[in-house]
Amino acid sequence: MSEKISSVHYINYLDLDKILESQHPISKEKGVEAHEEMLFIIIHQTYELWFKQILHEVKSIINLFKEDKVDESSMGVIVGRMDRVNKIMTTLVGQLDILETMTSLDFLDFRHYLSPASGFQSHQFRKLEVTLGLKIKKRHQFGGCPYHSQFEGEKKEEILDLEENQSLFTLVEKWLERIPFLNMDAFDFTTKYEQAVNQMLDKEIKGITEANLTDSDREIRIRMIEENKKYFERVLSEKQHNKAMEEGETSLSYKATMSSLLINLYRDEPILHLPYQFLRSLVELDHKISTWRFRHVQMVEKMLGKKIGTGGSSGQGYLKETVDKHKLFTDLANISTLMISRSYLPELPKNIKDTLGFNYTK
């Protein structure tokens, strides 16, 4: 006797009745429906669905980084999921093009019904920010109150729990600190790198000295290189780095910073391909979220000018403050400042190149 195969209908599987019946324009309930309110609702509901997917991906990445050892196969999964998150963020930015087909007058037909609702009250987006590493001490405060004051009950408790949990930033920092390549046998990366930097800068000074320049131009250019040299010295000094962390000038630990630098410089070595792609994906995510915030600012300026936000914020003023202040992986982006050309890159001994194969043990 054959088993009866159960079937799932498309509508039931996707729960479409609930989704498609969840748009309730307030203007319609008030008697005069504003045509554009449907678009406004659907765009923001779509944002929330995408936030749910991003959280799903980021949580899975965090779980992988909680392991004592993140092997190469896990890194492949992580890079793939980060790529998906960044493509979703591209879609979120693109959705603003659709929303901007609504004019200022169109929006004003129903905006007065929305207060005190605000995008600031998106629980999922706040969860995403905290999960990535934007804890309360790093935030631009909204109306002088902590951001979690917008929530109550279980939602507030969930946010407060996330504040206490390890974020993606923290776990990535610990992972970078565990990478065993900074001090390998017969190869002290930091020392070799510093020697290469000095060689590069000395050659630049020699070139300027021998060039056909006026004394004034020569002095200015040499002074600039000397300032660059001081910058490299500060970065390579663990003591000065720790001081910068205490003063809030940087967030990533010294050891994690040096590991990031090594990964970026020796990205061509097989075992560093995926770590390099992952670090790039974090910087890209930061930039995409900032782009989304900035596009939001531009849209608010076009639609509302300097009007106060429906949730009581300063509107575009608050949004502008968050564009740069709420970046999380700036220290990883700034590694580019420390790049040197391959011609100056210290050559790895053969045994080290063998170590940077496809497998290593902790």
Least confident of 157-161, 280-284, 358-362: 358-362
How does pLDDT run across 51-70, given as a tens digit for each residue?
999 999 999 999 999 987 88
- Type of residue at 326: H
- Kindly tell me if the per-residue pLDDT of 271 is higher than 90: no
- Kindly tell me if the per-residue pLDDT of 262 is higher than 80: yes
- Kindly tell me if the per-residue pLDDT of 315 is higher than 70: no
Range list of H helices, the chain? 10-13, 16-20, 26-29, 37-65, 72-99, 104-108, 123-132, 153-164, 168-178, 189-210, 215-236, 238-246, 254-265, 273-304, 316-325, 330-333, 350-355
- pLDDT the model gives residue 2: 58
- Kindly tell me if the per-residue pLDDT of 50 is higher than 90: yes
How far apart (Å, rounded) are the C-alpha atoms in residues 80 and 319?
A: 30
How far apart (Å, rounded) are the C-alpha atoms in residues 344 and 333?
A: 21
Rg (CA), the chain: 26
Least confident of 26-40, 170-184, 225-239, 332-346: 170-184
Q: Tell which wins on pLDDT, 214 or 5.
A: 214
pLDDT bracket for residue 142 (50, 70, 90): low
Percent over 70 (pLDDT), the chain: 90
- Kindly tell me if the per-residue pLDDT of 312 is higher than 70: no
- pLDDT the model gives residue 340: 93
- Nearest CA to 194 out of 206, 202, 185, 205 is that of 202
Q: Tell which wins on pLDDT, 332 or 116.
A: 332
- pLDDT the model gives residue 141: 64
- pLDDT the model gives residue 362: 47
Q: Tell which wins on pLDDT, 80 or 301.
A: 80
What is the value of pTM for the model shown? 0.88
Residues 294-332 as b or e (16 or more Cβ within 10 Å = b): bbbbebbeebbeeeebbbebebbebbbbbbeebbbbebb
| Distance linking the first and last C-alpha atoms of the chain | 55
- pLDDT the model gives residue 298: 87
pLDDT bracket for residue 360 (50, 70, 90): very low
Architecture of domain 16-179+250-331: Up-down Bundle (1.20)
- Nearest CA to 289 out of 50, 100, 86 is that of 86
- Nearest CA to 284 out of 243, 327, 241 is that of 327
- pLDDT the model gives residue 57: 98
Average pLDDT, the chain: 87
